[in-house]
Structure formats: C-alpha cells, structure tokens
Amino acid sequence: MTWAFTADVEEYAAAAEAWLLRDPVRNTVLLTVLRGLRSGQFAEDPLMGWFDEDGSVTGAVSHTPPYPLGLGDVPHAVLPSLATGLIELDRSLPGVSGPLAAAEAFAAAWWRPEKGRRAERLYRLGALAPSAAPGKARTATAADIAEAALWFGDFQAEAHVDRTADPTPVVSARINRDELVWWEDGGRSVSIAGVTAPIAGMSRIGPVFTPPEFRRHGYGTAVTHAASRKAMDEGAAGVLLFTDLGNPTSNSIYQSLGYRPVDDYATIHFG
C-alpha cells in the first residue's frame, strides 16, 4: 500500500482515471484538471499521484502550480502518508483544496501551519427554475479573450485566488471549447460565467463574475441560468457548481435557480 507520483499525465490517467470516474460529482475538479493537463494546460511542473492498495486505486490527487494541491474524495487514513510522500519529494504547496474533512486531515499532517481558508459548498442542479433580467446571453468568441482574461483576473482578486498565474491561457482554452458565456445588456458585457463541457455526464459552472458596477440587477442570476441551460442542452446529465460560503448572496441566488447542496469543501492556505 503506497502512494505513486508522476508528471506523466497518461501514466496518471491509466492508473487513476477509472477511480475518479466512480464519483464524477465529488471528483469534478480533478477530472477537469485531468482534461486540462491532456490539452496542454497546467504545464508548469505538474505532479499527480494515486494510492495503490494491493493493486486497487483508492485515492488520487493532483498539483498544478501555482494552485493548491487538489484532493479527490480520498480516504482520510491515507492522507498522512500522502503528506510524507510529498515532503520526501520536497514538494512546495501553497495550500490544499478538496472535501472539507479530507482537506483538514491533510493540513493537519502537513509541515506548514494553516494561514487561512476559503469555505465552499458543492451544489448540484435539480430542476432549473426560471430567471428574468434585462439583456441576453451569448457564447464568448476568440475576439473576447483579452476582456475575459481581465474579468477572470478581477474574479481571482475578489475571491483571494492566487494571481501569479496568467489567466489568459485558461481563458483561451475555454473559449476554444465554447465554455464561457457573457450576459449583455444595452450592448455591453455585464456578467460572465464558465461552464465546462461534460465529463462523465457532469458539467460545472464557474467562475461566475459580475463587476461591482453592474451588480443588483439580476445579471449574475441570468448568466448562471444561461450557462446551466447551455450545459443541459449540450447533454449534461448533471450540472454542478461551487459557492463561497462567505457570500450568502451567491448561495441564495444559486438555490433560487434550483441548485441543492451536495457536500462542503475547503481551500486551506499554508503559512
């Protein structure tokens, strides 16, 4: 019983993808990262790992700097040995992100103290409720890359996400996959939402961002509704999203659209 680590995405996929696909809801982030790695994103010193228990994979993780270590729905008992393995590799981690109890268990075993955390909740869409706001949705195109990258940067700053990574490559890749939706009113962009192409039947909404000057008009609700509808129209069997539990407004908005809680997650930053 041991952790195995690799920088080779296909070696990781051969070992861990089947385990990730057993629960595409709770493993949605790692599955999205896997797709990004396969398409050439997150190329700066990636590291992936899986726990092999007598020939069966029972856990998987990925680390794509400068982002925190991403945990799947990993058994808590194997997290201390994960920390030990990463320390032996001299791996530097700014933090850890995953299901709340798993993230806390890993943080307790890591050698650096907790500096702060972001509490999140994973939601899954039930029946999509109607939404009404002035304006209309459109899918972003290549001409929108620069503007969308600026909006992603503003979202990262507001959400206290590490901004050392230029969002332009991610934005460009997502636009190439038709994964960004604008809400426009009066000929101007007023809100944006991402929506992943389905993986194992699951699409995920995010980020959702409305600049401060355009808030309190229902645009965030409208663009989330439009992105959710797009996912369903394109064959998603389930639509997911994460919310910041420190933002009661967004949690209320998503629940009003028909999203229901699945589990609590956390991103824990290390000092």
pLDDT in tens, 231-244: 999 999 999 999 99
* In the predicted structure, residue 160 carries a pLDDT above the cut 80: no
124-270: which CATH number, 3.40.50.300, 1.10.3720.10, 3.30.470.10, 3.40.630.30? 3.40.630.30
Indicate the pLDDT class of residue 42, thresholds 50, 70 and 90: confident
Which tens digit of pLDDT belongs to each residue from 3-29?
999 999 999 999 999 999 999 999 999
The Cα 104–Cα 157 span in angstroms is 24
The pLDDT assigned to 85 comes to 97
Percent of the chain topping pLDDT 90: 87
For residue 199, the 8-state DSSP code is B
Please check whether the two domains, 2-112 and 124-270, share a CATH topology: yes
Which residues make Cβ contacts (< 8 Å) with residue 143, sequence separation at least 6? Answer: none
Domain positions in the chain = 2-112, 124-270
* In the predicted structure, residue 156 carries a pLDDT above the cut 90: no
Q: State in words which class domain 2-112 has.
A: alpha beta
**Is the pTM value of this prediction over 0.75?**
yes
Cβ–Cβ < 8 Å for 12, 47: no
Indicate the pLDDT class of residue 163, thresholds 50, 70 and 90: low
